[in-house]
Amino acid sequence: RGTDGQQAAGRRDVAHPGLQRATAQRGLARGVVPGLARGFAPEPQGYQHLYSCAPLVGGCLDVGAGFCLPHSKEQVPELCLWLCFQSPEGSYDLNSNDPDPMPHPDEENGNHHGTRCAGEIAAVPNNSFCTVGVAYGSRIAGIRVLDGPLTDSMEAIAFNKHYQINDIYSCSWGPDDDGKTVDGPHQLGKAALQHGVIAGRRGFGSIFVVASGNGGQHSDNCNYDGYANSIYTVTIGAVDEMGSMPFYAEECASMLAVTFSGGDKMMRSIVTTDWDLQKGTGCTEGHTGTSAAAPLAAGMIALMLQVRPCLTWRDVQHIIVFTATKYEDRHAKWDTNQAGFSHSHQHGFGLLNAWRLVNAAKIWESVPYLASYVSPALKEGRSIPLLPQELEATWNVSSADLQLSGMRTLEHVAVTVTITHPRRGNLEIRLFCPSGMMSLIGTTRSMDSDPNGFADWTFSTVRCWGEEAQGTYRLVIRDTGDESLRPGTLKQWQLTLYGSSWSPAEMKERQRLLEEAMSGRYLDSNFSLPCPPGLEIPEEQHYTVTANTLKTLLLLGCFAVFWTFYYMLEVCLTRNNVGFDLSCSGSTACRWYPHGGKHRALENGLEMEAVPLYREKEAEEGEVECEQLQPAQEDGGEEGSWTPTHPKAPPSSRAAGCHEAAPAAAGYLGREAAAELLSEGREHQAC
């Protein structure tokens, strides 16, 4: 997610040694906002800890990443100097269905987006060429998935690809940031995210880091992005070097934190690796957008996992909430909730600080199991009035409701709504937790003129983190439109709470312990908490349903349908040309319609000619009338033999009738017996 609809900012020539660039990158915020410098320039006693990350594997889900691959060493040897330690066993190209994630040249923007994001995480140090990664000792895996049509199946496979090898998935992409799109992962993608946090990383859970989006100039909000408002992801926004919200950044109640990125043209952007194909130089000073912010967060999380590999996906979220730095910004409005956490829609819980994150991870004990509560679907069917009036719906969660799950304190709160409205962008949706903490989960968007409203869309918030779950929740909806449009309707809504059995007192005690750890004494000592062993979960085998595969299946399906119709038509035409249609009227008379003249069938080598039955006479044009055949048991004939019902039928007619009845007789007596009778000239016995 780069700015201005591009995947990343433009390229610039290399003019400075790599050490100077790395120093400039770490010092983006030095001397600008008090207390922020530690995030990029840690205290001396912690330097060796923060910048010597063990070989964890981070996966970049993107258009691909330029690695030092065997076939490219001679062509671009500098790749080996400045990029990162590749993890070929964790990489894959879902677009081409091969293990090489190398991006293909693109005339529009060079397809350098994944390479730039990878360099922020794991670019090697002391390369004398470009920059150094936040977790430069880690290995990076590339999963190429965005360089072509993206299906739900491909996305799901990307989220779980090599999830026992890759620990962190950095995703700097999402739906269109155009101020009118409401989209997110579909059914398979949602299931893959949930499966990843349950079974990934040997049972501790894959860490999914996503960019909040670049639709700020279009009044977009990341709660309309299903990746950013998922409870399974770490949603990261951006601030510029002054600590302010850039023009492209989106506000969001589900955003956890922010990291640095570029701002306007007069401000510095992120220095990172670039490919050297086309006009690329191998290094850029122009990486920006929330695409640049999310990989920095992924690198800091890699540092956390170095000191404590058994952190679960929820442990990572909790540590971010507990340690993110609140700071003054005249454009941000901070609110402190009942548990003492400060959050703003512009910056989440604050700026990520690598020093604080690693110190907290060192002493962190895992949180209790995830507990959840889901209310019944609340049918409303009420109209949404225009401002200044508003629609309010409430639901009370009692202690008895929470008793089964054991939930006491909140983490994520989600609301799923079905709303009809002639212009969706006119709606403003707010959620109030029992403490009174307000979350603006749905903002007005001037460019969103969709007439279909919301169909089971889920909004979420983290602003009530740590608060007590019991109490009354209020959903308030406003219509900022005018009277020229018909009013919208809240059809139904459903409340979902996620949290744990932690009590408010236990939450406070954990906060106190982490503040004590910020001195660094645990990091400098040999203190360590035991880590439980991970689970032995086998790598899953996936089959990628690519766009080409879907096209092939579609062509095969069309061919099968065409062949079916062709075969049915051939059968119908054949029956019409060679068969007889039997039409009976009354109880005794029947009519045979010969369509194809004579019909010859081969029965045990004997040709039998189909001729009309019995007393031939012209009934109508093209018709032959006959008497119905019946069993002749009354005349003493053997059971199963057949004689004509007309007593005066001449022998010639009977002989002719036997020719016609021969195929039926052959089926009744047996083919060999019928053939023998016919060969002896005893046609009437064959009948």
Percent of the chain surpassing pLDDT 90: 49
| Tokens describing residue 636 | 């003493």
Looking at residue 447, its pLDDT comes to 96
Query: How far is the C-alpha of 295 from the C-alpha of 348, rounded, in Å?
Result: 17
What average pLDDT does this structure show over 188-215?
Answer: 96
Looking at residue 88, its pLDDT comes to 81
Q: Which residue has the higher pLDDT, 83 or 390?
A: 390
Looking at residue 97, its pLDDT comes to 81
Does residue 275 register a pLDDT over 80?
no
- Domains (range + CATH), the chain: 18-325+332-367 (3.40.50.200), 579-686 (no CATH)
Does residue 593 register a pLDDT over 90?
no
Does residue 590 register a pLDDT over 90?
no
- Model confidence at 541, in pLDDT bands (50, 70, 90)? low
> What residue type is assigned to position 433 of the chain?
C
- Residue linked to tokens 């609340």: 378
| Tokens describing residue 90 | 């964790």
| Among 270, 242, 323, residue whose Cα is nearest residue 31 | 242
Looking at residue 176, its pLDDT comes to 94
Q: Is the peptide bond before 388 cis (omega within 30 degrees of 0)?
A: yes
113 is catalytic: yes
- Active-site residue, selected from the candidate residues 153, 206, 244, 291: 291
- Active-site residue, selected from the candidate residues 49, 62, 347, 479: 62
**Top mean-pLDDT range of 45-54, 144-153, 602-611:** 144-153
- Residue linked to tokens 């990158």: 25
- Model confidence at 278, in pLDDT bands (50, 70, 90)? low
Contacts of 525 (CB under 8 A, 6+ apart): none
Does residue 63 register a pLDDT over 80?
no
13 is catalytic: no
* Cα separation values, 155 from 64, 332, 407, 502, Å: 14, 34, 32, 35
Contacts of 272 (CB under 8 A, 6+ apart): 116, 117, 119, 120, 123, 130, 131, 283, 284, 287, 292
Does residue 665 register a pLDDT over 60?
no
- Model confidence at 338, in pLDDT bands (50, 70, 90)? very high
* Cα separation values, 451 from 38, 428, 429, 493, 617, Å: 48, 15, 17, 19, 73
What average pLDDT does this structure show over 146-160?
Answer: 88
Query: How far is the C-alpha of 387 from the C-alpha of 234, rounded, in Å?
Result: 35
**Top mean-pLDDT range of 59-73, 223-237, 321-335:** 223-237
Q: Which residue has the higher pLDDT, 174 or 589?
A: 174
What average pLDDT does this structure show over 572-586?
Answer: 60
The helix or strand, by DSSP H or E, that contains position 479, with its residue range, turns out to be: strand 471-479
Contacts of 519 (CB under 8 A, 6+ apart): none
Stretch among 2-16, 363-377, 634-648 having the lowest mean pLDDT: 2-16
Q: Which residue has the higher pLDDT, 141 or 224?
A: 224
- Model confidence at 525, in pLDDT bands (50, 70, 90)? confident
| Among 457, 475, 490, 492, residue whose Cα is nearest residue 379 | 492
Looking at residue 178, its pLDDT comes to 95
Does residue 551 register a pLDDT over 70?
yes
The helix or strand, by DSSP H or E, that contains position 600, with its residue range, turns out to be: strand 600-603
* Cα separation values, 476 from 151, 427, 607, 648, 680, Å: 35, 10, 87, 96, 97
Tens-digit pLDDT profile for residues 668-681 = 556 666 666 666 66
Please give the mean pLDDT across all residues of the chain.
Answer: 78
Does residue 67 register a pLDDT over 70?
no
What average pLDDT does this structure show over 461-480?
Answer: 98
Q: Which residue has the higher pLDDT, 458 or 332?
A: 458
4 is catalytic: no
Looking at residue 61, its pLDDT comes to 67
Looking at residue 297, its pLDDT comes to 97
Contacts of 156 (CB under 8 A, 6+ apart): 188, 189, 191, 192
Does residue 416 register a pLDDT over 60?
yes
Q: What is the DSSP letter of 351?
A: B
pTM, two decimals, is 0.73
Looking at residue 443, its pLDDT comes to 97
Q: Which residue has the higher pLDDT, 110 or 150?
A: 150
Percent of the chain surpassing pLDDT 70: 68
Contacts of 166 (CB under 8 A, 6+ apart): 57, 58, 59, 87, 90, 141, 206
Does residue 212 register a pLDDT over 60?
yes
Looking at residue 58, its pLDDT comes to 61
Does residue 39 register a pLDDT over 50?
no
Stretch among 37-51, 198-212, 413-427, 439-453 having the lowest mean pLDDT: 37-51
Tens-digit pLDDT profile for residues 84-114 = 456 788 888 888 888 877 776 655 556 678 8
- Active-site residue, selected from the candidate residues 49, 112, 113, 318: 113
Q: Which residue has the higher pLDDT, 10 or 441?
A: 441
Tens-digit pLDDT profile for residues 300-336 = 999 999 999 999 999 999 999 999 999 888 889 999 9
Stretch among 52-61, 228-237, 349-358 having the lowest mean pLDDT: 52-61
Looking at residue 222, its pLDDT comes to 96
Does residue 540 register a pLDDT over 60?
yes
- Model confidence at 5, in pLDDT bands (50, 70, 90)? very low
What average pLDDT does this structure show over 121-139?
Answer: 86
